[in-house]
Chains A and B, each alone.
Chain A
Amino acid sequence: MTESNANVSLKPEPRPEVPDLTMPFWDAAKRHELIVPRCTPCNAFFWYPREACPTCLRSDSWDWAKVSGNARLHTFTIVRQPLHPGFQEEVPYAFAVVQLDEGVRMMSNIVDCDVIEDIQIDMKLEVKFDDISDEWTLVKFKPA
Chain B
Amino acid sequence: MSLRGKAAIVGFYEIPTQKEYPDRTTFGVMAEVARGAIKDAGLRKEDIDGLINGEGVNSITVAEALGIQPDYTASMTTHGSSGATSIATAAAVIAAGLANYVLCVFGEARPRSSSRMVGQAQAKGMLPPASRATEWELPYGPVIAMNGWYGLIKQRHMFEYGTTQEQFAKLVVDQRFNAAANENAVWYGQPVTEEDVLNSRFTNDPLHLLESVMPCSGAHAVIVTSAERARSLPNDPAYILGVGGPATTHDVIWQKDDITTTPVVSSAPTALNMAEISINDVDMAQFYDCYSILTMACLEDAGVSKKGEIGPFYESTDTTYKGDFPINTDGGQIGAGQTGGVGGGFRHVVEGTRQVMGRAGLRQASKSDICLVNG
Contact = CB atoms under 8 A, between A and B. Distances in A.
Interface string A109-122: 10000001000011
Contact of A138 (B123, B139, B148, B204): B139
A50 to B, nearest CB: 9
Contacts of A136: 139
Interface of A is mostly: mixed
Contacts of A22: 135
B122 A79 contact: no
B142 A121 contact: no
A7 B125 contact: yes
Contacts of B138: 12, 14-15, 83-84
B200 to A, nearest CB: 13
A97 to B, nearest CB: 5
Contacts of B144: 81-83
A74 B259 CA distance: 10
A79 B124 contact: no
Contacts of A15: 127, 130, 134-135, 138
A83 B153 CA distance: 18
Interface stretch (A37-45, A57-65, A86-94): A86-94
B205 interface: yes
A110 B143 CA distance: 15
A132 to B, nearest CB: 8
A86 to B, nearest CB: 7
A17 interface: yes
Interface residues of B, number: 42
Interface in B239-261: 253-255, 259
B267 interface: no
Contact of A11 (B139, B152, B206, B253): B139
A95 B141 contact: yes
B306 to A, nearest CB: 22
Interface string B64-101: 00000000000000000000000000000000000000
B141 A87 contact: yes
B112 interface: no
B204 A81 contact: yes
Nearest to B118: A83
Interface in B136-155: 136-145, 147-148, 151-153, 155
B131 A17 contact: yes
A96 B137 CA distance: 10
B205 A78 contact: yes
A8 B253 CA distance: 28
B152 A75 contact: yes
B202 A80 contact: yes
Contact of A121 (B119, B129, B156): B156
Given A75-B155, A138-B140, 16 more contacts: A4-B123, A12-B122, A12-B134, A12-B138, A14-B134, A48-B132, A48-B135, A75-B156, A75-B159, A78-B202, A78-B204, A80-B202, A83-B118, A83-B122, A96-B152, A121-B156
5 contacts: A13-B139, A14-B136, A80-B201, A109-B140, A121-B155
Q: List 7 tightest A-B contacts by C-beta distance, closest first.
A: A77-B151, A78-B205, A87-B141, A15-B134, A75-B156, A121-B159, A15-B130
